[in-house]
Structure 1
Amino acid sequence: MESNVLCSLIILMFKLPVEKKVVLCSLHYCDASRSLPTRVSFQCDDKALPDSPEWKKTLLETPLHKALSTMRNTGNIL
């Protein structure tokens, strides 16, 4: 298997409901044999958010479409 640089990184932008801050989420798919990301990172003006372990765990262990649906249904993102 070979990795494809164009498909090994997904960047998402979403908004927090209460603070109305924008968050950039980078999903790195470094292992071509897995369908889940191998690394997740966040960028935001709020310095506490990027260390959010529950968000990282959800995105690393759940398929992306299900993880985003869960995060939206629980009110974590808009």
Structure 2
Amino acid sequence: MPHAFSNPGAQPARMLFLVSPAGYETYLQEVTDLRNAPGHPDHAEITALRLRHDIRQLTPLTATTTDRGSTTAPAHSGART
């Protein structure tokens, strides 16, 4: 099911994410680790991670600037097949 998450505000946001069956939390932690690594994210590693978890990323995995001028984390829009 395609979906998206974003934070258009200037302040960091927290989200409670509940998924069943379990396992998706592993993908979220691994993609967070890759994005928080020094330097630019390795897109080949992110692609391999998505394949391991059967996820198709529908939107770019990049930060965006809001119309308020603040930088936000990327919207996550993915679909499990």
Q: Which has the higher strand share?
A: 1
Higher relative contact order (CA 8 A, sep 6+): 2
TM over 0.5: no
When normalised by structure 1's length, the TM-score is 0.31
